[in-house]
């Protein structure tokens, strides 16, 4: 399934704060990522927005509440609504995080990292496969940032690789999360890339956060321009695999007054993709 996915190009996370700019400059982004939960059982005005956006962009849902690492299975109603959304917008894939966000029916309000154990990796992989089969298009799984790292028999990269052994899902490689985790926890980002199955990487996230300083961790805030270290990781990644179908610039707060700043990041990502031979399939104008 992954080998047949289209090249979407350089995308942008759709947020209401920049909706006017996105609609005024429809060619700035090749595609848009929407937050899944904003459109499940959504009111008519949200559905109208989706259909308006689809006139110029491919849309891909990115979820927060699938909670693949929770003790319980994802709610059947959630998966059914997710499948309906994917079908409605003809999404080529959908994504969520390698973590858990719910326990005992209670939303935790954050992306909680998983204990890095082989049995948990196997359970998450099998659950991801069941969700993918139910939805009918590839599910791609994202690495998260974490600030507390308990002793574990597996490294982060080994855990992700183990999950992939139990499903045929893809990976959403958040290079900002990789950069932050490697600096906060003292591991080599290149060694991480050496370990994970790069042929499974479908999409890449690019964002900016706080850099941290002595005594303070770097944090993933999606509130700043993409740092040079993350751009470097993108180039290194694309030197090593031809599997990447799309990049995505994320900004969730502190939006620039000049939309040109985000357009410049989109253009830079597009240039790196094009240099690697990943030419996007544009939606009709």
- Are 15 and 259 spatial neighbours (Cβ–Cβ below 8 Å)? no
Mean pLDDT of the chain: 94
Nearest Cα residue to 75 out of 109, 114, 40, 44:
40
Instruction: Work out whether strand 139-142 and strand 94-97 pair parallel, antiparallel, or are unpaired.
Output: parallel
- Are 192 and 182 spatial neighbours (Cβ–Cβ below 8 Å)? yes
Question: Per residue in 187-240, pLDDT tens?
Answer: 999 999 999 999 999 999 999 988 877 668 999 999 999 999 999 999 999 999
Question: Per residue in 225-267, pLDDT tens?
Answer: 999 999 999 999 999 999 999 999 999 999 999 999 999 999 9
Strongest mean pLDDT among 32-46, 106-120, 160-174: 160-174
What CA–CA distance (Å, rounded) separates 206 from 13? 10
Q: Which residues contact 68 (CB under 8 A, 6 or more apart)?
A: 74, 96, 97, 98, 99, 100, 124, 127, 128, 131, 141
Helices 118-135/76-89 angle, 10° precision: 50
Indicate the domain borders of the chain: 2-275
Average pLDDT estimate for 85-111:
93
2-275: CATH number: 3.20.20.150
Residue 284 has pLDDT above 50, yes or no: no
For the chain, state the CA radius of gyration. Answer: 18
């Amino acid at each position: 399934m992954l080998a047949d996915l289209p090249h979407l190009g350089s995308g942008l996370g759709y947020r209401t704060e920049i909706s006017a700019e996105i609609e005024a400059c429809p060619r700035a982004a090749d595609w848009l990522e929407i937050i899944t939960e904003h459109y499940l059982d959504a009111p008519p005005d949200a559905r109208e927005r989706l259909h308006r956006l689809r006139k110029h962009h491919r849309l891909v849902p990115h979820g927060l509440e699938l909670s693949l690492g929770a003790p319980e299975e994802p709610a059947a109603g959630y998966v059914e609504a997710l499948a309906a959304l994917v079908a409605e917008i003809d999404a080529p894939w959908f994504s969520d995080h390698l973590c858990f966000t719910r326990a005992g029916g209670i939303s935790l309000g954050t992306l909680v990292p998983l204990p890095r154990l082989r049995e948990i990796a196997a359970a998450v992989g099998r659950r991801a496969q069941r969700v993918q089969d139910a939805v009918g298009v590839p599910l791609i799984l994202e690495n998260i940032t974490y600030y507390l790292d308990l002793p574990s028999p597996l490294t982060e990269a080994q855990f992700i690789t183990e999950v992939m052994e139990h499903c045929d899902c893809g990976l959403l490689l958040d290079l900002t999360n990789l950069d932050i985790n490697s600096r906060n926890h003292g591991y080599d980002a290149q060694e991480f890339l050496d370990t994970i199955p790069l042929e499974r990487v479908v999409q890449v996230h690019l964002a900016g956060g706080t850099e941290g300083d002595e005594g303070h961790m770097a944090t993933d805030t999606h509130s700043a321009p993409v740092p040079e270290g993350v751009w470097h990781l993108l180039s290194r990644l694309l030197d090593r695999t031809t599997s990447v179908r799309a990049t995505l610039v994320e900004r969730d707060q502190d939006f620039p007054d000049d939309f040109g700043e985000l357009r410049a990041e989109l253009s830079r990502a597009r240039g790196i993709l094009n240099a690697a031979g990943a030419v996007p399939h544009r939606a009709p104008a």
